[in-house]
Amino acid sequence: MTERARPDWAGDERRQLDQVLDYQRATVRMKCEGLSDDAARRRLVPSPLTSVAGVVSHLVWVERWWLEHVVGQREVEFPWTDEHPDGDWEQGDAVPLAELLDAYDEACATARSIVAGLDLEYVAAPDSPHPISVRAAMLHMIEETARHLGHLDILREL
């Protein structure tokens, strides 16, 4: 069973951001417990892309985009193109859930190591199309992860 450490709401801003994001990340893994690959790929809502596996795959690539590529300025080969914009979601159909969760854990660990060495005020690539402070990127990842946890809640209830 996935353990989730509750955030220290009395901590400093950096600690709260780190802990809230890690709590959300752990909840993603918790929502996937006990699912077979077939169950994780099942489409239960009208969107043709929304499955548990699709959400997890998308979250892998969202972590990698915002925190590894944009903030960390690392080159990453992404599964989507302008002609094929849903490649991140579609990988959920081809990759076993356990591998997706391992990839998610790895993406989160990489993201953690990148932001740990940067001030919250640091603006990554200020001249790029995506200038963003570390603070804003972390807040966005909290928002993005929490939003997709809502999808996972619904998918697990159906």
CATH number at residue 41: 1.20.120.450
Nearest to 26 by CA among 79, 104, 113, 134: 104
pLDDT score recorded for residue 54: 97
Report if residue 4 sits inside a domain: no
pLDDT score recorded for residue 156: 96
Nearest to 79 by CA among 100, 52, 109: 100
pLDDT band of 17, cuts 50, 70, 90: very high
pLDDT score recorded for residue 127: 86
- Rg of the chain over Cα atoms, rounded to whole angstroms, equals 16
Alpha carbon 35 to its chain's center: 19
Report if residue 2 sits inside a domain: no
Report if residue 35 sits inside a domain: yes
Domain extent at residue 26: 13-157
Over residues 34-83, the pLDDT tens digits come to 999 999 999 999 988 899 999 999 999 999 999 999 999 999 999 898 99
pLDDT band of 11, cuts 50, 70, 90: confident
Whether the predicted pLDDT of 15 surpasses 90: yes
Mean pLDDT of the chain: 95
Output 7-16 pairs: Cβ under 8 A, ≥24 positions apart. 13/120, 13/135, 14/120
pTM of this prediction exceeds 0.85? yes
pLDDT score recorded for residue 45: 92
Report if residue 58 sits inside a domain: yes
**3-class SS of residue 10:** coil
Number of structural domains in the chain: 1
Report if residue 3 sits inside a domain: no
Phi/psi zone of residue 54: left (φ > 0), alpha (ψ -120 to 50 degrees), beta?
Answer: alpha
pLDDT score recorded for residue 66: 94
Report if residue 142 sits inside a domain: yes
Helices and strands in the chain: count of H runs, count of E runs: 6, 2
In the chain, DSSP assigns E strands to 123-124, 132-133
